[in-house]
Structure 1
Amino acid sequence: MQQLLTGQTRLPGFSGEWEVRYLGDLCKLKSGESITAARIDGHSAYLCYGGNGLRGYTSTFTHDGKYALIGRQDALCGNVVGVEGRFFASEHALVVTANTDIAIEWLTYVLSRMNLNQYSESSAQPGLSASKLVMLRIDAPSTAAEQTAVAALLSDLDAELAALEARLSKTRALKQAMMQELLTGRIRLL
């Protein structure tokens, strides 16, 4: 996966050199908006994201479209999640708005593999600064088509891994049940 995200391995049909670019040249990073706990509930229309991921629901939204969110503060500072549709981003999340020539799905994969937590400011509560992150260098395909192809392949691989993990979990549960039956003598082998 890392080789696809850095251009060391190329997909068939694509050529040309990847460019080293600053993150700030690929997207805009902006903190979300302030929201009180009283405005967050478990049943309103729009998802509300904070620094540690999903916080709940709210009746208003700040964004509509495809974005990446970076946890800006708290324990999961630096975590990355892709979101789509209408949602509310709190001040504890950085909203990544990709430039028009950048595939947000590809950028989300890249950001999620960068261990962004390492760039947090040292203090009582870890935090990421947008001004620091925009200066990070990233190897980027020169075309959105290649970015989209890389993201699609990685998404397919993620789906396949999830299916295999689900199958493994079911097989482990079956083994546990069979062991229980065999070890208690309820089922005997001939």
Structure 2
Amino acid sequence: MLLSCCTKFLTLKMIKNMASIPSAVLHASFTKKENKMFQVNTFGLFCLLVIFSIACCDTNSIQIVNSGSTNTAGYNINIERNGQTKYSVFRRFPIGGNPQEKTTQLEQNLRENLFANIEMAMPLSQYPVKHCMKSASFGYSLRVTYNEQTSPDLACPLSEEKLVNVNKFVRDIVAYLNIKTIGN
């Protein structure tokens, strides 16, 4: 029934465009039942699209990435707003296979402080991209991604107070997860 209603609507729409028939004549050709059904189905489709859009735009997670260096391991941390945290440490000398992903529940105060400070620092695109001198052996980059925006390198000296606070909570989380980058 929906298909026939949509087909009828599209056919009438094409006729209207081609023959320049007044829209009142076209709408009169729909029965009241078909009009009502078309409105309900259109609203339902709109609701599904909104839900899908929200689900695709994951604004409830933070990703922290440490690139690692010649002498230090890197890591990737993904923190959901509910505290579910997944992380991997990328060894400097892989022993075969992919790094093992670990899962834990982050303490409420740590995650709330991190989310609050990142949200206060938004938009992350407002901060200039910084480049800084780094050791060839131990230089790494540390970036946070939230709401499709990535911070400048938090391993460089920071002058913006909001980024300094984000950096502090990122390091607290790394310590809480007991991530070691030396010797891996």
The TM-score bracket by the shorter chain reads under 0.3
Q: Whose strand proportion is higher, 1 or 2?
A: 1
Larger Rg: 2
Larger RCO (CA under 8 A, 6+ residues apart): 1
Please give the TM-score of this superposition, normalised by the length of structure 1.
0.27
